[in-house]
Chain A
Amino acid sequence: MNAETAWRVHPQVSVRPESFGALLYHFGTRKLSFLKDRTLLAIVEALGDAPSARAACEAVGVSAASQPKYLQALETLAASHMIEERTA
């Protein structure tokens, strides 16, 4: 995935916050995914308004050192179509 482009949660995906992070359900693929922490949830929620995935990480205060871990998690979500690229 390209961390420098704009992304969003797939319109057919529903996000439900939970104590440990969140549950994601894709009504198109009928697949369930999990966000294992609240920071990742905040990033996912920030994607739609940020100019890039990296900017979304920065917007919720993820340090440069922690970014690779979260970008990796976003990559997994992109692979299962939970998030998709949008035109900025």
Chain B
Amino acid sequence: MTIAFPTEAPPRPARLVDHFERGLDAPICLTWELTYACNLSCVHCLSSSGRRDPRELSTAECKAVFDELERMQVFYVNIGGGEPTVRSDFWELLEYATAHHVGVKFSTNGVKITPDAAAALAANDYVDVQISLDGATPEVNDAIRGPRSYETALRAMANLRDAGMKGFKLSVVCTRTNIGQLDEFKAIADEYGAQLRLTRLRPSGRGADVWDELHPTQAQQRELYDWLVAHGDEVLTGDSFFHLSAYGQALPGLNLCGAGRVVCLIDPIGDVYACPFAIHDEFLAGSVRDDGGFAEVWRHSELFTRLREPQSGGACTSCQFFDTCKGGCMAAKFFTGLPLDGPDPECVQGYGEQELAKRKNTGGGIPLPSGDHSHRTSPPRPRDGMGPVSVTIRRRDDIQAPPVSACAESPLAGFAATLTPRESGAEGHHQEGTRTTLA
């Protein structure tokens, strides 16, 4: 049998977004979580951070990755964590990256942004800083990010402003408790000479535990959309809210899920994932520690190749807003247990809620994150259906004497069988002698 191939090349795509769907030679930017270590335990942490992973990339390995990013002409990386500044080599790596023409934008809770650090940051044109704040008041913020985190963030912003750093970012994850504070956030950003950046709450990492209570209501989504339309170019969104485009007018930005096509994530141990919001085996493409390094994973991994093929919109294709919304966020669907080719859980047309209700009725499972680096002493995380556990403490009647282990009787227990009779005797004699002396 012969297969007829069309002789003409397929028509060239006209829009940039079509090129991006097929992937680029290198990411436009990538997210790199430098460490899982963090001084905070935010309830919605995407990467379930807290404790450092002992397999973390070394300073030399990180520098090798920056070398590779320079060769691939990756313009800049978004460095996060964890709290990246708690790595003792953080400032050294920052210096190294920018000296090698890789710009750095890093996210921090501000804990290490002292006046000296702020002065060094302000002097480097290739560095941008993003301070995280999830409430315009301490009450709202600290409930999510932990005690005194508001104070820490504002002190860092004051230090940056006083050092003359202009246009750094104030980064806010939009939740049910802070959507009403958008104007206040804008006022704080203006006061410190910062630019406001709003992003979406994802049900990833510990975010999955609080998503039901914290994700914006339908009415709040509308409020957010109207606010974004009104403030347009003054506010950055990291292209987070393209699912809101189905309210009507598309929001500024690419309006595309960039996973594996224009963005990806490197985690603290060097694993490469398609999406910054999906640290899960399902989205693991390879490791920078593999042969060929990051470039090989980006260009040839099976997962990324698959993500660059035309995606089926599934149930969403018949929706009139599919062209702008594209079915929403892959990670949001995955971690709420919805099919990847269906609607986003926060679909503004309400299709996601229907799917979520169906899933709950059928008792469909929700995928758990593949790793958890949370502090073991974290404030208790919300759990449902668990009350106090009753325990009865009493003596066991079936045990008559304290347990005696074999080694308490003979230091050679378990070894004697492998020795020849002569050696065994000699050793035994010696040990006996020793014991006598000690006694």
By a beta-carbon cutoff of 8 Å, the part of chain A in contact with chain B is 12, 14, 16, 18-20, 23, 25, 27-28, 30, 32, 34, 36
Contact = CB atoms under 8 A, between A and B. Distances in A.
Nearest to A25: B75
Contact of A18 (B19, B103, B128): B19
A23 B105 CA distance: 19
Looking at chain B's contact residues, the main secondary structure is loop
B19 A16 contact: no
Interface stretch (B24-32, B211-219, B224-232, B421-429): B24-32
Contact of A14 (B25, B73, B105, B125): B73
15 contacts: A12-B125, A18-B24, A19-B25, A20-B19, A23-B28, A23-B75, A25-B75, A25-B103, A27-B76, A27-B103, A27-B125, A27-B126, A30-B105, A30-B128, A36-B16
A34 to B, nearest CB: 6
A67 to B, nearest CB: 22
Nearest to A26: B75
Nearest to B98: A27
A18 B72 CA distance: 11
Interface in B90-121: 101, 103, 105
B19 A19 contact: yes
A29 B128 CA distance: 11
A36 B19 CA distance: 10
Interface in B28-75: 28, 73, 75
Given A27-B103, A27-B125, A30-B128, A14 B19 contact: no
B26 A28 contact: no
A18 B23 CA distance: 10
A18 B76 contact: no
Contacts of B75: 14, 16, 23, 25, 27, 32
Contacts, number: 34
Interface of B: 16, 19, 24-26, 28, 73, 75-76, 101, 103, 105, 125-126, 128, 167
A52 to B, nearest CB: 28
Contacts of B76: 25, 27
Contacts of A18: 19, 24-25
Contacts of B105: 30
A62 B19 CA distance: 24
A20 B101 CA distance: 23
A20 B28 CA distance: 14
A34 B128 CA distance: 22
A16 B102 CA distance: 13
Contact of B16 (A12, A20, A25, A28): A20
Closest 6 CB pairs of A and B: A25-B75, A16-B73, A20-B19, A34-B16, A27-B103, A27-B126
B136 to A, nearest CB: 25
A51 B342 CA distance: 55
Contacts of A23: 24, 28, 75
Given A12-B125, A18-B25, A25-B76, 15 more contacts: A14-B75, A16-B73, A16-B75, A18-B19, A20-B16, A20-B19, A23-B28, A23-B75, A25-B75, A25-B103, A27-B76, A27-B126, A28-B125, A30-B103, A30-B105
Contacts of B126: 27
B402 to A, nearest CB: 69
Contacts of B125: 12, 27-28
Contacts of B24: 18, 23
Contacts of A30: 103, 105, 128, 167
A17 to B, nearest CB: 8
A32 B73 CA distance: 13
B404 to A, nearest CB: 70
Contacts of B103: 25, 27, 30
B227 to A, nearest CB: 23
Contacts of A34: 16
A14 B73 CA distance: 8
B262 to A, nearest CB: 10
Contacts of A25: 75-76, 103
Nearest to A32: B28
Nearest to A13: B75
Nearest to B254: A32
B101 A16 contact: no
A14 B101 CA distance: 9
Contacts of B167: 30
Contacts of A36: 16
